[in-house]
Structure 1
Amino acid sequence: MSFYDMTVEKYASLPLHTLTLRQMLAQGEEALKDPNFMVRNARFVHKEMPVRLAKRLMDLQFLPHIVVINPHIKQVYDSYRQAFDMLTAFPEIKTLEDNAKFTQMITMLVDDHTPLCWECWRGESGSALSAAACAAAPTFSSFGASLSVSDSVCAHQLVDDHTPLLGVLARGVRECALRPLVGRELDLDPFLDNMLRSRISRRVIAEHHICLQHQRPGFIGVICSQLSMRTLVEAATKQCTDVSRRTFGFCPDFEMHGDVDSTFAYVPAHIEYMLFEILKNASRAVVEHHLKKAHEEGKSISQATFPPVTITVCRGQKESTIKVSDQGGGIANELKEKVWSYGFSSLDEDTEAIQPAGPLDSHGSPMAGLGFGLPLSRLHAQYFGGDIEFFSIPGYGTDVYIRVHRLGDHQEEFEI
């Protein structure tokens, strides 16, 4: 075993030091009162991130040989290793100047150079703003009650799970799953749950540290205290409409009902990702099902009609529920369990999955194909104590329920 591998194993054997949401909320006030808080928090992040990366590196090393030799999986491993090496090589953080350098480094490391704060919008060239540029960004009201839909057009690009590295991992898993004989024997779901849950936690920890240094009204680090449900839904439906029309030339209407004017505390990136994925699947199902129905009835494409996708919001005592209902033909009974499996897709398995990674659409994600959307959405919901469930009537349609705890209303001890 090489020295590097011994170092990884040493870090992987260390315990995790979890952070609760109560602590995260308290950090906002502490960061304002105590100038040295950011140095202490940087030390925590500096100590914690290599341990979490090392545990995932060991998971990758323990994969079956047929998976490890996949070039996409190897690329993921190399990326994690590079991040691990950079973090462990960084000297002890003692001053605010040290913290500034550390913050600059984790800005580059977290999630493939994508924006880390919601202020950090993509420029026309697609390059991300640095954390230092956050201070010069427009006044931060993104996804707060005052944000207009036009301000959030690019929100989908900021979600942590529409980035190159995740696409590489998804493609590698799909390729392994499609291997004759061997693929059907692989069960990579537990491995991917650990990989992606850890990835979410690393991003939350790192981004929270960065955003605490550039606080905006209505935010405590990455947590928005007045997240507007109406703005979230309108932004997600606009994104889905754009993608569906580019992909199919059609898109169903979206109707909102219930407590759509409610606000709550949450991490914007997480719920925006979940909403977009669920609405995207619903709109695609409606278009495909009713185009097929029109063809079977001898009608032209222009004569096809598309029933609306309805979004119903209910604000309960402890949680908010978003129900997305479509008339897209439902899910066959034999496929209902498979939709939660990573790599499963309703697209042609012989085409989409094995093609080289091409350019993404303007929102940073293809319409469908790699099979990570639903399980990863559920993982995001479960991460803060919520969940995603669905009920489907084959031949008619599907209801999907997104349950999210309203952070800050109650002092839950969800750990990160």
Structure 2
Amino acid sequence: MVDAHRTFVIVGGGLAGAKAAETLRSEGFTGRVILIGDERDRPYERPPLSKAFLAGEADRESVFVHEPGWYAAADVELHLGQPAVALDPAARSVRLGDGTRIHYDKLLLATGAEPRRLEMPGTDLAGVHHLRRLAHAERLRGTLAALGREHGRLVIAGAGWIGLEVAAAARGYGAEVTVVEPAPGPLHSVVGPELGAVFADLHREHGVEFRFGAGLTEIGGRGGMVEYVRTDDGEELSAQQVLAAIGAAPRTALAESAGLDLAGGTGGIAVDAELRTSDPHIHAAGDTASVAHPVLGRPLRVEHWANALNSGPAAARAMLGEEVRYDRVPYFFSDQYDVGLEYSGYAPPGSYDQVVCRGDIGKREFVAFWLRGDRVLAGLNVNVWDVVAPVQALIRAGTPVDPEALGDPGVPLETLTAPVAEA
């Protein structure tokens, strides 16, 4: 079929969807490109929502993927503020909330994820926040500034990346911060107990209080406003605002109702290395896609910026019939106070048997590696730069590495990557 007579529809107005639309045009597709988003804003990037924008260091316009006129210039049709509510694979059509039906020849689901909600009394009080959308960040930014002026307290449920980044932003405004986390330390599912203390100490030095091994059971107040929270060990903590930072769930309702295969352990929509779903005319990308990862050898769903940035274009190329093998090593970054870091790979608790560090952990200038036997699963560089490429090469190669040499800053990382034997 000639491109000019084909319609490619993208459901999801985030980074993955926007970059997919951009790629379709840059690859020469001349048919209709329709992008559907349930927010009224054009596609934007999410990292600034917990980093520079939230901290007041960047303006609103800086978060958007493209300039306002780009979509018209690229002939990308935007349907914003109008959610897709039903998908009919047999008819190859999407139905919007207003009843409009849009036919597609190829469809990309880039529906992202939604923040998990606290389930306890008091979540309906004014002052309970979630952070996923630009509107959330705008509201929270104003709230943190007010807390700082009034020396008020923010309680954060969850010591993951979002929780810690918001804690850093809140302290920058002068707000008091308490983080409540059921795990024994921050970032426990990512960096484990070996390095969690590094981030706990960092935040304590900046005045953040922690309650580890505890969860929230109640949010209380009077006059419709938050005044305190209660933990499952009986402690009552003063609070004027509460942030739920307990993770996100992939938005799979459209896929599920259409009968597409879902991933079991990771959640999300099951896709192959070409980001194709169980329906050959439908692809998925970004937070919602669980990829049969050809390097890691397991299904993997990644909720980070780099995955949206790279999987959207990969899906677009696959929709065009190009050869695609989505095998990117997972990557994310974070900024907290004067610490910047980059993490590559995948090493959940129980998957590794040793952690090797090179550099100075005390000065927070180091690179840490998670190993299973003598093979590198993941690497974290903290205030050490320009090492992501060799770190990812070690992960991708999957070949034996001498742990002693790995921990020696005098041994260039590039020299540790043995060539992968050809099959």
For the aligned pair, the TM-score class normalised by the smaller chain equals under 0.3
Does 1 or 2 have the higher relative contact order (CA < 8 Å, sep 6+)?
A: 1
**Higher strand proportion (structure 1 or 2):** 2
TM-score scaled by structure 1? 0.28
TM-score scaled by structure 2? 0.27
